[in-house]
């Protein structure tokens, strides 16, 4: 009898999805899904941000969003969050910052192609690229993050940083490269880490300049002192519970301890940068938890 009750409790906990936002939509679908083969039941959960006016948002995001989440042992197991950030409204359709052949500094290199405006990039089904989604702190009892031994690459080509947004583990080496036959100057602008302003020589494919962040913090800008329009964003993180949306607004966060957690949603073109400071997501230990995060037009600030 006790084994039967335990099995029923585990099943109920693993399949329960609770949403503490404005609206929740749950659809149980049987059959093949894009998240796995065979016969499955996948919850489709829509999260709409709460008050996005900023009035109800705490001024300080330093509080441990994930720290007060129930311990993983209470619910048991881990789960995966599969999400998408979706723009709601008329997309601005930003033109390039400069078109090919424009009369700008080092135009032979920098204006060899159109220079994109990456402040707001929208892909398929109104998905918004380059949005950071992350826990402020790891949940209690979560394992420590293993720092990758291989360096991550931060490049620049035709006077554009690549990638535009980077989530990097604290302690991992970042090699700064350049494919341009002109000099650049990489300038980081962190709030908690030591800033760097250093020359990047022409055609450096080895990475003479290396960066390494020692503290976690929210995204900050990286610029080039020689080419004022160049901008990217780095975010050092000390746990694995974060992601940056791809070109179609999709993201995935794996191995999240079961239970309720709070996530921060950050984008450079959002008013005040924060779409959500405390987005609550409940993760079960079974099928992936699907999350749709609304990006209302009223929140866009360009």
Residue ranges per structural domain of the chain: 1-91+127-136+243-297
Both tokens assigned to 206? 């080895």
| Candidate ranges 9-23, 39-53, 77-91; pick with highest mean pLDDT | 77-91
Predicted pLDDT at 233: 99
Please check the confidence at residue 138 and state whether its pLDDT lies above 60: yes
pLDDT in tens, 51-80: 333 333 333 333 333 333 344 334 468 999
pLDDT in tens, 139-187: 998 988 999 999 999 999 999 999 999 999 999 999 999 999 999 999 9
Closest CA to 138 of 166, 170, 171, 173: 170
The sheet with strand 209-211 has its strands ordered as 160-162, 152-157, 174-176, 209-211
Mean pLDDT of the chain: 81
Predicted pLDDT at 76: 66
Q: What percent of the chain has pLDDT over 70?
A: 75
The sheet with strand 197-200 has its strands ordered as 165-169, 231-237, 220-224, 184-188, 197-200
Please check the confidence at residue 117 and state whether its pLDDT lies above 80: yes
Note the pTM of the prediction, 2 decimals.
0.76
Q: What percent of the chain has pLDDT over 90?
A: 71
Give mean pLDDT, residues 127-145.
95
Q: Decide which of 46 and 1 is more confident.
A: 1
Give mean pLDDT, residues 275-288.
93
Please check the confidence at residue 298 and state whether its pLDDT lies above 60: yes
Please check the confidence at residue 7 and state whether its pLDDT lies above 70: no
Give mean pLDDT, residues 270-291.
94
Quote the CA–CA distance of 244 and 33 in Å, as a whole number.
23
Predicted pLDDT at 141: 87
Quote the CA–CA distance of 243 and 225 in Å, as a whole number.
28
Residue 267's alpha-carbon distances to 20, 117, 284, 302, in angstroms, are: 22, 14, 27, 11
Choose the weakest-confidence range: 62-71, 130-139, 236-245, 268-277.
62-71
Please check the confidence at residue 131 and state whether its pLDDT lies above 80: yes
| CATH class of segment(s) 1-91+127-136+243-297 | mainly beta
- Split at pLDDT 50, 70, 90, the class of 9 is very low
Predicted pLDDT at 285: 77
Does an H or E element contain 10, and which? helix 2-15
Please check the confidence at residue 200 and state whether its pLDDT lies above 80: yes
User: In sequence order, what DSSP letters do the residues of 15-56 get, joined into one string?
Assistant: H-----SS-----EEEEEETTEEEEEEEEEEEE--S--SSTT
- Split at pLDDT 50, 70, 90, the class of 46 is very low
List of residues 6+ apart from 295 with CB closer than 8 A = 85, 86, 87, 88, 128, 131, 267, 270, 275
Pairing label, strands 132-135, 259-266: antiparallel
Residue 89's alpha-carbon distances to 122, 125, 127, 145, 189, in angstroms, are: 12, 12, 12, 38, 32
Give mean pLDDT, residues 199-227.
98
Please list the residues that pair with 293 across neighbouring strands: 47, 85
Please check the confidence at residue 227 and state whether its pLDDT lies above 70: yes
């Amino acid at each position: 009898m006790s084994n039967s009750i335990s099995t029923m409790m585990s099943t109920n906990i693993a399949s329960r999805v609770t949403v503490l936002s404005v609206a929740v939509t749950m659809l149980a679908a049987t059959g093949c899904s894009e998240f796995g083969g065979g016969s499955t039941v996948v919850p489709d959960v829509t999260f709409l941000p709460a008050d996005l006016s900023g009035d109800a948002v705490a001024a300080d995001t330093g509080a441990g969003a994930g720290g007060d989440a129930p311990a993983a042992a209470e619910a048991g197991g881990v789960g995966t969050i599969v999400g998408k950030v979706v723009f709601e409204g008329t997309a601005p359709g930003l033109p390039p910052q400069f078109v090919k052949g424009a009369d700008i500094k080092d135009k032979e290199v920098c204006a060899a192609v159109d220079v994109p405006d990456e402040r707001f990039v929208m892909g398929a089904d109104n998905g918004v690229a380059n949005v950071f989604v992350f826990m402020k702190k790891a949940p209690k009892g979560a394992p420590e993050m293993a720092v990758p031994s291989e360096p991550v690459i931060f490049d620049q080509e035709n006077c554009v940083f690549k990638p535009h947004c980077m989530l990097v583990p604290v302690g991992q080496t970042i090699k700064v490269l350049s494919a341009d036959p002109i000099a650049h100057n990489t300038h980081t602008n962190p709030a908690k880490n030591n800033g760097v302003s250093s020359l990047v020589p022409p055609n450096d494919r080895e990475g003479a300049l290396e960066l390494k962040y020692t503290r976690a913090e929210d995204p900050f800008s990286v610029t080039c002192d020689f080419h004022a329009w160049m901008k990217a964003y780095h975010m050092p993180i000390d746990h694995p519970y974060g992601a940056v949306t791809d070109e179609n607004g999709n993201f995935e966060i794996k191995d999240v301890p079961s239970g309720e957690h709070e996530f921060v949603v950050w984008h450079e073109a959002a008013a005040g940068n924060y779409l959500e400071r405390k987005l609550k997501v409940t993760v079960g230990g079974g099928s992936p938890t699907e999350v749709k995060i609304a990006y209302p037009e009223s929140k866009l600030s360009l």
